[in-house]
Amino acid sequence: MPGGYSLRAFDCLDSTNAECARLAGAGERGHIWVMAATQSAGRGRRGRAWVSRSGNLFASLLYAIDCGLAQASQLSFVAALAVRDVAADMLQANEAVTCKWPNDILVGGRKIAGILLETAGQGGASPSHVIIGIGINLAHHPDNPHFPATSLIDEGLSDSAPEDVMERLILSMCHWVAIWKDHGFTRIRSAWKERASGLGKEIIVRLPDEELRGQFVDLDKDGALILALEGERRHITAGDVFFT
């Protein structure tokens, strides 16, 4: 393990994010990776269930923060770059593997990984940690017509043991965290945009109370999606993106 990090592996957990929250609540310090062979209550964004079949990768990083929440939320993009690089390297398909706003990884337009950021601590005024939950479809993928998915096996990779992918992920995450700490979000934002799906194209963004159609023109300095509509630009901080 890289210096300052540790890893705890389990056969089964309710969710790796939940285990990280328990560790933070118990006063654990430092940066702790948690992985599980299966999850009984895995979850994605907006409380959606995350199908957790054995053979896929389920991992979370409990990351101790010494910055505000706005800055810490940038770790979602840091993690996206780390996961994208792992998938691109394993598949030897750099152009086909892209980042989808806000926190998915696609291969050929199909979802292969997702990221869920949460905060944790001991109940103080400010959280002490960010939890970065990562799920990667190695051997299986869900069948969802609204969000087409794929797996490393389906993309032609014959061997994708979770332990081997986890080792790659840890190193890739350390690489991008170092860039974030040394150069700030400007470098992360630029790298993410170079690997983004839909940038410059017309997209649909579904919000809780409305649906917007416009051009994805940029990512702002805080990571919000900038959508060009008729006569205005909207900065979207949360929503589901669909390509037209």
Tell me how many domains the chain contains: 2
41/87 same-domain check:
yes
Residue 17, both tokens: 């994010």
The one-letter amino acid code at 67 reads C
Mean pLDDT of 158-174: 94
pLDDT tens, position by position, 50-103:
566 778 999 999 999 988 888 999 999 999 999 999 999 999 999 999 999 999
Report whether pLDDT(127) > 70. yes
Read off the pLDDT of residues 184-228 as tens digits, 9 standing for 90 and up. Answer: 999 999 999 999 999 999 999 999 899 999 999 999 999 999 999
Q: What is the pLDDT of the chain when averaged over all its residues?
A: 91
Statement to judge: residues 190 and 209 lie in one domain: no
CATH number at residue 216: 2.30.30.100
125 and 216 together in one domain? no
- pLDDT average, residue stretch 144-151: 86
Q: Confirm if 222 and 238 have CB atoms less than 8 A apart.
A: no
Phi first, then psi: give them for residue 82, nearest 5 degrees.
-65, -45
- Residues 186, 213, single domain; the answer is no
pLDDT digits (tens, 9 = 90+) for 26-42: 988 889 999 999 988 76
What average pLDDT score do residues 10-24 get?
A: 94
> Region 114-136: what's the mean pLDDT?
85
- pTM: predicted TM-score of the whole model, two decimal places: 0.92
- Which range marks the domain in which residue 215 is found? 202-243
Give CA–CA dist 81/72, Å, rounded: 15
76 and 187 belong to one structural domain: yes
pLDDT of residue 242: 93
Return phi, psi of residue 81, to 5°: -65, -40
